[in-house]
Structure 1
Amino acid sequence: MIRIKNAEFITSAVKQNQYPESVHPEVAFVGRSNVGKSTIINALTNRRKLAKVSNTPGRTRLVNFFLINGQAMLVDLPGYGYAKISKSDKAAWGKIIEDYIVNSPNLKRFVLLVDSRHKPTQDDIAMMDYLRYYEKDVVVIGTKLDKLKRNDIKKSEKLIRETLQMEKEEPLYLYSSTSKENLQQVIDLVFKDLLPEEA
């Protein structure tokens, strides 16, 4: 079991020369603008306001770095797929994400967040393909589990796996930031081999 004892905001960046100088392994969170990325980061770290939660999707335009237990970096990437932004903004966001993926030597894992209530979107599929292209370790988390009926959970897992063309052994958890269901499993999965386990 991995316990998160402290988490602190380090910096925000849009390009490589603004990234913090660090030797800590990094795990990056990515997903659609309204998937609940900030909410899950706050829940995992048990800090209500660590990542800013906005009622307006698409507000995060920066790469945000958070130091976890003084030993690993959680990196919050800009959300994608928000329809009400211009093409130039979309292109700029894509460049920010790509620059980070290509230029971060400490990047160990990606956490791809999808809405468990719906079939993954074309943007989700494109992001998964993109991460596979760079041969990154990818963990998929389905958010908003509390909004699903119990007998729809297995169907949702099956739909996510099929749509993202995931192998059986590729990790997938459905999670609720409201009920905290599967919270410890998600922490253990996200920070596996990056933070030490406690007996």
Structure 2
Amino acid sequence: MKIRKVQFEISAVRPEQWPQDGLPEFAFIGRSNVGKSSLLNRLLNRKSLARVSQHPGKTQQINFYNINDTLRFADLPGYGYAQVSKTQRAAFRKWIVQYLEKREPITRVLHLVDIRHEPSVDDRDFHRLLLELQHPVLVVATKLDKIAKRDIAKHIQQIRTGLQTPNPILSISSEKNMYIDELWSVLETDLTAHESELSDNE
């Protein structure tokens, strides 16, 4: 996709703050320090649109980004960061669950997990919720460049087993720009399907 315009819109918590124009929306969810901000910056060809922090837990609200006035990214708070207070973690979970349950324009959820490790308890918990809500999901296994090629299949199977997921898994590296085009292809296919559905309903 050719990125002509990227606009940060709002950091929101309450549903009444969410953008209401109905653009197809792609939600990014994952454990703190899984590489969400790096992936967003790579997808949008920006160096620092989404802030990459040395301190996990930096994203503490839902950040909405308008792309080309045709789609939207929603960057959800990272979960599972121990240095955030229990009260704040509970608030993060509440906002995420509320968003996933109520947000109608969600076109696909991109669930990021670190390819190097077995899915955490939080990874499994949120993925189970995504399955229950029947959102279209792509599991994005980040940090592909950190493991040897011979180990990729083993780690992908580890993720599939840990999440107990029927959803597709795409391994990527934001740092090395590996398989980012393939990820965009998934999003573009979703957009085409969305536009076709709108045409059929007219």
Which amino acid counterpart does residue 139 of structure 2 have in structure 1? V
Tell me how far apart the structure 1 counterparts of residues 160 and 116 of structure 2 sit (CA, whole Å): 13
Tell me how far apart the structure 1 counterparts of residues 140 and 190 of structure 2 sit (CA, whole Å): 18
The two structures have a TM-score, normalised by structure 2, of: 0.91
1:188 deviates by 1.3
* 1:122-167 per-position Cα deviation (integer Å, ceiling 9, x unaligned): 1101010011111111100000001011111111111111111123
Decide whether the 8 Å contact of 1:139 with 1:190 is kept in 2. no
The residue number in structure 1 matching 2:198 is none
1:186 deviates by 1.0
Q: State the 4+ residue runs in structure 1 displaced beyond 6 angstroms.
A: none
Superposed, 1:1-199 pairs within 5 Å as 2-167=1-166, 170-194=167-191
Which amino acid counterpart does residue 47 of structure 2 have in structure 1? R
1:69 deviates by 2.0
Tell me how far apart the structure 2 counterparts of residues 5 and 127 of structure 1 sit (CA, whole Å): 33
Decide whether the 8 Å contact of 1:34 with 1:57 is kept in 2. yes
The two structures have a TM-score, normalised by structure 1, of: 0.92
Decide whether the 8 Å contact of 2:7 with 2:67 is kept in 1. yes
Tell me how far apart the structure 2 counterparts of residues 70 and 153 of structure 1 sit (CA, whole Å): 36
Tell me how far apart the structure 1 counterparts of residues 53 and 29 of structure 2 sit (CA, whole Å): 16
Paired residues, number: 193
Decide whether the 8 Å contact of 2:107 with 2:190 is kept in 1. no
Decide whether the 8 Å contact of 1:26 with 1:74 is kept in 2. yes
1:187 deviates by 1.2
Secondary structure of the residue aligned to 1:100 is: helix
Secondary structure of the residue aligned to 1:101 is: helix
Q: Flag structure 1 segments of 5+ consecutive residues without an equivalent.
A: none
Structure that is richer in helix per residue: 2
Which amino acid counterpart does residue 61 of structure 1 have in structure 2? Q
